Structure 1
């Protein structure tokens, strides 16, 4: 991957459809989230199409699926498929995996295999969809592997568009994604590299506190148009957390084009913009020579 050639690194994109045609979410949740994000047209790009989308923009993208099969009944896009697509497009795609913590010891073995055989760079957790508190000891075996291998744990935080508008929110409970539960993880695994995904509404201040207090914790800015960022998030991104905030779009529900156009209008210092758009992610992902 040629960093000099890249204009940005998007640390948050989704593989939502397998080459076999299956989706990573049940159709009712998928359609509801499309409505929540006001997605126009198809939001199910294949992995090669995702790679082409970012190559056209001279950007790299971290890509992952979400494994929540025990809760949703839907099998995720296979981690191997994501990793193989990244291996076929190494100039633009960076593979993360996702393992449902409820898979227990089998999931722990799988995590190690994915790092050793497929060179995944991190693991995506979605506590609200997967139905677990991040500080549940059930997940600690996974964190041990992630810390040991120097990979990254990325946690969805705050409200989710998945299930929004469906009766009962599709059974998805927001409480699991309070970033304070990740603070326990950061304390118990002091060398674990962590990303808190999204502006963490309604717990934005909690996320800023955790990221300021725990050296290994970072924040990605995905899932929201920057024009809706709360003032304190912009303030911290410009100052105390300027080396720990990361560009993320949440593609395909939010395009990098829209995100970047709105980000351009924020009062971010000229010296900080390249850090958020590329430099911080390059360092965290170990892409610097």
Structure 2
């Protein structure tokens, strides 16, 4: 990847459809998510289409699936498919994977194989969909492997649009995604690089607290238009967390075009703006160091 050519790095995009046209969410959850985000246009881009989309914009993107098969009963887009697409589009795509933490030691073996054989650089956890508290000890062997392998753990935090508006929220519980729970993980695995995804409504202050206290914790800004960011998030991004905040869109439910247009209107210091859009991600992901 030619980092100098890239103008921004989106650290949060989703592979939502496999080559066979299968999705990792049921139709009702997919429709509810689309309605929540008012997602128009091409809701289910293939990985090839996603790569072309970011290439046209001279941007790079971290891309991942979500493996929540134990709780949802449907398999995610295969991790290998994501990794192979990233290999074929290495100028713009950065592969992350997802392991259902309920897989236990089988998941640990899968994580090692994905890193060692496919060059995966991180793993996405979605506690709401996977129905687990991040500090549940059943996931600790997996975290230990990720720490040893030197890859990133990205945790969904805060409210989720998946299941929103459905009876009972589609059975998806919000309690799992309090970022303060991830503080235990950051303390117990100080060598594990962690990203707290999204402005963590209704726990924004908790996320800021964890990220300022734990050197290994970062925050991505995906899933929200910047015009809706809480003022304390903007204040910390401009000051104490200027080296630990990352651009993320949540594509395809929120496009980087919309996100960047609204970010341009945000009161961010000129010297901080390139850190958020690119430089912090370059450092965290270890890009341009080969």
Fold conserved between structures, TM > 0.5? yes
Match of 1:30 in 2: 30
Q: CA RMSD in A?
A: 0.5
Q: Is the 8 A contact 2:69 2:76 kept in 1?
A: yes
| Aligned-partner Cα distance in 1 for 2:284–2:115 | 16
Match of residue 256 from structure 1: 256
In the alignment, the residues of structure 2 paired with residue 182 and residue 87 of structure 1 have an alpha-carbon distance, to the nearest angstrom, of 31
The residue number in structure 2 matching 1:139 is 139
Q: 1-side partners of 2:7 and 2:41: how far apart? A: 26
Find the aligned partners of 1:16 and 1:172 in 2 and give their Cα distance.
18
Measured against aligned partners, the alpha-carbon deviations of 1:6-33 in whole angstroms (never above 9, x if no partner) come to 0100000000000011001111000000
In the other structure, the counterpart of 1:210 is 210
Structure 1 residue 288, shift from structure 2 partner: 3.0
Q: Deviations over 1:142-199 (max 9, x none)?
A: 1011100110000000000000001000110000000001000000001110000000
TM-score by length of 1: 0.99
For 1:172, the equivalent position in structure 2 comes to 172
The aligned counterpart of 1:7 is 7
Q: Does 1:95 align with 2:95?
A: yes
Structure 2: give runs of 5+ residues left out of the alignment: none
SS at match of 1:5: coil
Match of 1:237 in 2: 237
Q: Does the CA-based 8 Å contact 2:2-2:288 persist in structure 1?
A: no
Paired with 1:288 and 1:20, the residues of 2 have a C-alpha distance of 34
For 1:8 and 1:42, how far apart are their aligned partners in 2? 22
Alignment partner, residue 221 of structure 2: 221
Mapped pair 1:186 → 2:186: yes
Look up the match of 2:266: 266
Partner of 2:115: 115
Once the two structures are TM-superposed, the CA of residue 74 in structure 1 deviates from its matched residue by 1.0
Q: State how 1:19-98 maps to structure 2 within 5 Å.
A: 19-98=19-98
**CA distance in 1: counterparts of 2:148 and 2:81, whole angstroms:** 24
**SS of residue paired to 1:97:** coil
Q: Is the 8 A contact 2:79 2:97 kept in 1?
A: yes
CA–CA separation in structure 2 for the residues paired with 1:263 and 1:211: 21
Q: Is the 8 A contact 2:152 2:192 kept in 1?
A: yes
